[in-house]
Amino acid sequence: AQSVTQLGSHVSVSEGALVLLRCNYSSSVPPYLFWYVQYPNQGLQLLLKYTTGATLVKGINGFEAEFKKSETSFHLTKPSAHMSDAAEYFCAVSEFPGNNNDMRFGAGTRLTVKP
């Protein structure tokens, strides 16, 4: 089955600094990749997704991610962190075509933004 590894369970940046959250995936077929954000006591909200086409994907709140097949990576970036970006971020992978309709998530990265 497909799987996701997120490097770094906690990342701390200063306000205005670059945000880089790392995600590597394992999949036997071309993957669909997703980044979600979770604010305290809430469900997950989609930030962006890659299915096919352009490998650089732009999402909400100024985030973007690049699908690199050769590196099996889908790292999330934002040029300038804002205090409101403090949350937990999850990378996820889904396989298609295939027999699986399930989506698998990484362990999450908690982002802290310092003033």
Partner 1 sequence: DVKVTQSSRYLVKRTGEKVFLECVQDMDHENMFWYRQDPGLGLRLIYFSYDVKMKEKGDIPEGYSVSREKKERFSLILESASTNQTSMYLCASSLGQGRTEAFFGQGTRLTVV
The binding site for partner 1 (CB under 8 A) comprises 6, 9, 32, 34, 36, 41-46, 49, 51, 90, 92, 94-98, 100-108
CB of 83 to partner 1, least distance (A): 23
Contact 45, 36 (CB under 8 A): yes
CB of 80 to partner 1, least distance (A): 25
Q: Which residue has the tokens 């394992």?
A: 26
7 vs 22, 25, 29, 32, 57, CA distance in Å?
5, 11, 22, 19, 20
- Cβ closer to partner 1: 15 or 102? 102
- Cβ closer to partner 1: 17 or 72? 72
For residue 15, give the DSSP letter: T
- Cβ closer to partner 1: 75 or 106? 106
CB of 10 to partner 1, least distance (A): 10
Burial readout 3-35 (b: 16 or more C-beta within 10 A, e: otherwise): ebebeeeebebeeeeebebbbbbebeeebbbbb
- Cβ closer to partner 1: 71 or 102? 102
